[in-house]
Amino acid sequence: MIGWPTQILAVAIGGALGALSRYGLTVLCTQTSVSRGISGLSALVGGGPSFATTLANLIGCLLLGIVYQWSESVAAMAQTPLNPKLLLAIRVGFLGSLTTFSTLIGDCAVLGNEGRTGVSLTLLSVNLIAGWGLFLLAIWVVRGVMS
């Protein structure tokens, strides 16, 4: 068992890295030439900020699936388990601050209030369905690699 000061530090470091990554995605999707190149795809889910939320959530689901299956596979092969501080930093800290359900719901509410209910439902559906799909894909790939 790791002590709570170490747990807090692991979550804080992971959280800072996840928050910076999230901010970087938002800048990339709203303030750079990349945002112009993805404008059609971005419009599907309501524009730059909503697209950044979607990317963050989908990347987070994919990474969570990889970390989940990797840690399960390592444990099943009776190898040295992954460092609990590292798992805490990744799962709770990094992925917790990278992804955000509350921002997704807020984006959906804004789109709905603008009368763009269809886009709002598309945004929600893409995040939930594609997120679950990427999580499962990551598990399948890691199982294949580790077996």
d(C-alpha 56, C-alpha 34), whole Å: 16
d(C-alpha 7, C-alpha 127), whole Å: 29
96 in a known ligand binding site: yes
- The pTM of this model reads 0.80
- What are the pLDDT tens digits along the chain (147 aa)? 568 899 999 999 999 999 999 999 999 888 876 666 666 777 777 777 888 888 899 999 999 999 989 888 887 887 777 788 999 999 999 999 999 787 889 889 889 989 999 999 999 999 999 999 999 999 999 999 988
Structure tokens that stand for 135 in this block = 């999580």
122 in a known ligand binding site: no
Q: Can you give the residue ranges of every domain in the chain?
A: 4-146
d(C-alpha 109, C-alpha 120), whole Å: 7
- Contact call for residues 96 and 18 (beta carbons, < 8 A): yes
